[in-house]
Amino acid sequence: MLRDREKRVLAFGGVVAAILLALTFVVLPGVSRIKSQARAAAAAENDLAAVRAARPDIERIRGEIRKRAGVVQAASNVKDSPLSRLTSALQDAGIPQAAFSVKSGGARDGEFYREESFDVRIENLTYLETVKALQRISGGDALPTAVRSATLKSRYDDARYLDVTLRVGYLSQKP
């Protein structure tokens, strides 16, 4: 038989063990979970603020996409091939036919559009002619093109002139 004092010590030890178990398995994991959820909520608030801040840019990009989609739609009704349209755009920019060459780089199908890539090599251009050619090819309303990459090299014989290599994507509607 246990004495009253031993019973009290045993009961006190049991209560302390129960409290320790409750702290270990209930309270501390709950506090940790609350802290991690507070961090996740703060991160979500930061992400939401970033999306709200980007909204004007998103609206601007949507407008540009609608404009470009209209150009692609209008270009799909033209009978000329993309190669001939690109060649005539370069000639309209004032570049003689002997100064450039256009080679097909293949086609790639996207979700809504098909992109045909062309490698355009232009030799002996002044800086102003280069800018005009880039504006004519990339930003015009007449062609549904995008300049994917541009390499500009000064000529070894005269630094006033450039040799330009462009990777141009020509967008068309997916068949």
3-state helix, strand, coil in the chain (%, to 5): 55, 25, 20
Residue 166 sits in which domain range? 80-173
Average pLDDT value for residue range 160-169: 90
| Contact (Cβ atoms closer than 8 angstroms) between residue 82 and residue 107 | no
User: How many domains, in total, are found in the chain?
Assistant: 2
Evaluate if residue 140 carries a pLDDT over 70: no
* CB-side neighbour CA atoms (13 Å) of 155: 14
Evaluate if residue 139 carries a pLDDT over 90: no
Nearest partner of 154 among 132, 125, 133, judged by Cα:
125
Tell whether 59 and 87 lie within a shared domain. Answer: no
Tell whether 64 and 109 lie within a shared domain. Answer: no
Residue 141 binned pLDDT confidence (cut-offs 50, 70, 90): low
Tell whether 47 and 71 lie within a shared domain. Answer: yes
Q: Is the pTM of this model over 0.75?
A: no
Tell whether 29 and 62 lie within a shared domain. Answer: yes
Residues 61-100: tens digit of each pLDDT? 898 888 877 777 777 777 888 888 888 888 887 888 888 8
Q: Which amino acid is at 155?
A: R
Evaluate if residue 30 carries a pLDDT over 80: yes
Looking at 60, 77, 94, the residue that finishes a domain is 77
Tell whether 165 and 121 lie within a shared domain. Answer: yes
Tell whether 10 and 63 lie within a shared domain. Answer: yes
Residue 1 binned pLDDT confidence (cut-offs 50, 70, 90): low
Residue 111 binned pLDDT confidence (cut-offs 50, 70, 90): confident
Tell whether 124 and 148 lie within a shared domain. Answer: yes
Mean pLDDT computed over every residue of the chain: 86
CATH number at residue 85: 3.30.70.60
Evaluate if residue 174 carries a pLDDT over 80: no
CA angle at 133 for the pair 70 and 101, rounded to the nearest 5°: 100
